[in-house]
Structure formats: structure tokens, C-alpha cells
Homo-oligomer: A and B are copies of this chain.
């Protein structure tokens, strides 16, 4: 593992890919490599892009890569794939994207999926960000489907969060229901040439104006609502994504200038610590129980009502805990 982290610190892309795969697969002792690189992390600007399925996040991220490359930034992309609790494997879209940027060593794209039923995707995301960080990517984009607690956990790893809305998808409902309002630093109205874009723009703006403060911790930051044109008009699309890029960077600069970045870093680091505690304390116990079939014996007891989950959990705890 120390060999692997050494190679990653030297900028070896294949080693970095292997390390990320190990994180995803929750290979034991991967933490040893992560311990080695942790001290070198914390330089990249981490940008979260989130929104409902079908909102066009992938295409947007793809263009944002180009916009950042134009400006001289290097880019890491982590696409968090919710397909995989069952099937595993990356989305076809990511494969295509990887091909498009395959020749560009300034771009590093990986998709991350959950394997197994024991959780830990948010932990893997936080750690994969560190890997991209030590690969000296200056911008790291984390793309998630933004609904549910899990996705909010993931977004805790970002400094700047952009929420993507599209017309015609019942967006008010989307925004309200998903609680996205409270995590957004920037709103994006995607496919802005579609019917209903103007209405959605106005509604979102109203919503932003009504909420006094971004509860996400960046006091005084005025959450902008940006219109991004459809890909059907490539030049306009590129221009509006460049405006988005500049707004994302403006937010980061705002955090720095107003001494707010430290607050974000604290949130981010707290999330990491919580996840490390899960990985160190609970995950090994779950692995033990699954490995020797003990879990089945316990579940049998519950199915026959010979015991209850709380008594069994206390029994397990007494074996491991002081």
C-alpha cells in the first residue's frame, strides 16, 4: 500500500486509478495508502454538481471540463453512479466522456459506485477527492444525483455546490422536495431554450430572494441563478458554461476573501472523520459477521422472534466494545 501511495504522489495515473478502485471496493488496508497522502491534500477547489436524473448534469460537466481547460486549470471528475447498489459498473456516458478527454493528461475522470450493501459511498468519494487532489488537479468536480441523505453527505465534500434544474420537470417540486434549496451556492437553469425556462428562472430567483441567507454557511453570498443554453446551440452553450465556470470560481474566491472557506473545510473534514470512524469501527464488525456466517445465525433468531435486533446488537457490541 505504501508503494501505491508513493506512485500516486509521483503522479502515476494508473496507480491513482488502482487506488480509487481499491477505495470503491473497500479493500482492507487501503487506508494505509490514504494515510500517506493525506498530508499533501487540501489544495484543490472541489465543486459539486447535483440535480434530478435527466437534468443534463453529465453534458454540463463535460462542457465545464472544456471551460476549465481553456482557462488553464487541470480537472478531476468523480461521477457518482447510483446504478450500482445492485449491478455495479460505470455508466456508458462516462465511458464516452473518458474517450473524449482521453488524450488530455490534464483531465482525470472516474466514476464511483457503491458495492455491497454496507454503505460507504460518501467515504469513497471523500477519499477519491484526495487522490485527485494529490494528482494536482486544481478543480475537482463531483457529479451526483441530488436526492436523499446519501447525496447530501456526498455534497459535504464540496466547497461550491451548483444545483441543476430543467424546465418541464416540475422543478419547484424537485427543488423543494429534494431540499436542494438549502445546499445550493449556485442555481443552474439548464436547457434554457426550452418552454417554461423563463417561468422556472423567475420562480427560482424568487425563492432565492425570499431566503435571507444561504444556510449552507456562506453568509452574504448572493446565490446566482444562471441560464445555460441547450447543447443544440453549441456556441451559446459553451459561452453560458464559461459564465458558469466564472461564477463557480467567484464563489470560491468569495469564501476565501470573507474567511468562510475555513468553515467549509471544517464541515468537509468533520464528514471525513465521521466516515473514517465508520470505516474503522463498524465496517470491520460487519465484515466479520458476514465472513463467518454469524449474520445468518443472528437473522434466524430474529425471524423466529427468539430475540430482537437491539438485544442481538448489544450482544455483538459486548464482544467488540470495552
CA distance A54 to B173 in the complex (A): 6
Whether A266 touches B317, Cβ cut-off 8 Å, given contacts A177-B145, A179-B83, A183-B86, is no
Residues of B within 8 A of A32 (CB): 310
Nearest Cβ on chain B to A86's Cβ, whole angstroms: 4
| Bound-complex Cα distance A316 to B280 (A) | 9
Known contacts A53-B147, A54-B170, A182-B87, A35 near B310 by CB under 8 Å: yes
| Cβ-based interface call for A256 (8 A) | no
Contact in complex: B305, A152 (CB < 8 Å): no
- Is A272 located at the chain interface by the 8 A CB criterion? yes
- The residue that A273 contacts in the complex, of B119, B169, B302, with Cβ under 8 A, is B302
Does A114 have its Cβ within 8 Å of any Cβ on chain B?
yes
Is there contact, CB below 8 Å, between B182 and A86?
yes
The binding surface of chain A is classed by DSSP as helix
Complex Cα spacing A310 to B37, Å = 12
Nearest-CB distance from A112 to chain B (Å)? 11
A309 with B148: in contact, given A82-B177, A179-B84, A299-B269 (CB under 8 Å)? no
8 contacts between A and B (CB under 8 A): A39-B308, A52-B147, A54-B173, A82-B149, A85-B179, A117-B153, A270-B299, A272-B309
Tell me the A residues contacting B by CB distance below 8 Å. 31-32, 34-35, 38-39, 42, 52-54, 81-87, 91, 114, 117-119, 121, 145, 147-153, 156, 168-170, 173-174, 176-179, 182-183, 215, 262, 265-266, 269-282, 285-286, 289, 295, 298-299, 302-303, 305, 308-314, 316-317, 319-322
